[in-house]
Structure 1
Amino acid sequence: MKKLNPEKLTVEFRPYVTPLAPICPRVYTLTHSDITAELFLTMGSWIAYDKVTSMRDEVVGSWRVENNCYYFSVYVYIGNFGQKETHLRDAIFRRELPLALEAIFYGDRQFLLAHPPLAQAPIWIHFDSEDPAFNKWEYWGKPLEYSF
């Protein structure tokens, strides 16, 4: 797994979201540059659609509540580009997700330190694809497991 280089991470807060609040809605849009290897984390009340490209290789996360318990929900678009390309996208997301999660939790570490129970919340990732073989939800640990 690649380790996060904090110097390559740019963090932006959109209106209505601060380093400490709110928990919900709090939506993370993580994008990157293939050329510079920089990561761009935008936190707001909704997805930063202006950061999403036609490649659809962003990682989107948000805090959710179910039965009075918080969890971190992540969405990645695998799509359906034919078996070979879809398999490749799935493999790339799986390889890069630990770094993406580390970037999200590092970029919002003040928030997690202010809300310690969230560091123990489960992370659920939705790999979204029209192909049933790639369309699934998976448990990926807790934010605390991705050093922040």
Structure 2
Amino acid sequence: MKELNSHKVFVQYRDMMEPYEPVLGRKYTITHSDTTGELFVFVAENYAEDQITGIRDEVRVAWKEDKTGLALIGSVIVDGKGVTGNAFIRNKIFYNEMPTALQALRQADRFLFDKEPSLDNTTVFIHFISNNPAYDKLYDFGAIGIYK
């Protein structure tokens, strides 16, 4: 995993979301600038639709609770209607860069994790959405705490 430059991670809390709470209902939209290498993490009750570009290279993640406890469940769009680019290349980039996106999420919302250290044990699942069954997969990226 490459070293994340924390000076290039920017967070914005929206929809009355606070740095320390709540956990459930918290949604993350992670975007980036190819030009500057900056990463932008929006923490809100809803995904930051106003930050989504036609390239569709955002990562969406939300806290969910199931019978085993909390999980971070997210998605990326590999291909489909309105998405440009080669699915093989997009899939590879998303997979290779996911640790960086998760580091940005963990860094941006560090106050929440500092307040509730047990949240670092939460498993991250990312659905790679594709019309092609070879790319349409759910990946387990491990506990969010490995991305601190």
Distance 1:87 1:106 in 2: 29
Query: What does residue 28 of structure 1 align with?
Result: 28
Query: What does residue 55 of structure 1 align with?
Result: 55
Shift of 1:80: 4.2
Moved segments of 4+, more than 2 Å: none
TM-score by length of 2: 0.93
Cα RMSD over matched residues? 1.6
SS for the counterpart of 1:74 is strand
SS for the counterpart of 2:41 is strand
Query: What does residue 138 of structure 1 align with?
Result: 139
Distance 1:127 1:87 in 2: 12
Shift of 1:2: 2.7
In the alignment, does 2:11 pair up with 1:8? no
Query: What does residue 108 of structure 2 align with?
Result: 107
Structure 1 residue identity aligned to 2:41 = L
Shift of 1:79: 1.2
User: Which string of whole-angstrom CA distances, capped at 9 and with x for unpartnered residues, describes residues 57-79 of structure 1?
Assistant: 00111110001600011211111
Distance 1:146 1:9 in 2: 14
User: Which string of whole-angstrom CA distances, capped at 9 and with x for unpartnered residues, describes residues 38-85 of structure 1?
Assistant: 11111000100000000000011111000160001121111148xx81
Structure 2 residue identity aligned to 1:113 = D
User: Which string of whole-angstrom CA distances, capped at 9 and with x for unpartnered residues, describes residues 72-123 of structure 1?
Assistant: 1121111148xx8101000000111100000000110110121222110111
- Please list every run of 5 or more consecutive structure 2 residues that lacks an aligned counterpart in the other structure: none
Q: Are 2:9 and 2:107, in contact at CA under 8 Å, matched by a contact in 1?
A: no
- Please list every run of 5 or more consecutive structure 1 residues that lacks an aligned counterpart in the other structure: none
Query: What does residue 120 of structure 1 align with?
Result: 121
Distance 1:80 1:15 in 2: 30
TM-score by length of 1: 0.93
Give the aligned length. Answer: 146
Q: Are 1:72 and 1:124, in contact at CA under 8 Å, matched by a contact in 2?
A: yes
Query: What does residue 86 of structure 1 align with?
Result: 87
Q: Are 2:126 and 2:141, in contact at CA under 8 Å, matched by a contact in 1?
A: yes
Distance 1:129 1:137 in 2: 11
SS for the counterpart of 1:141 is strand
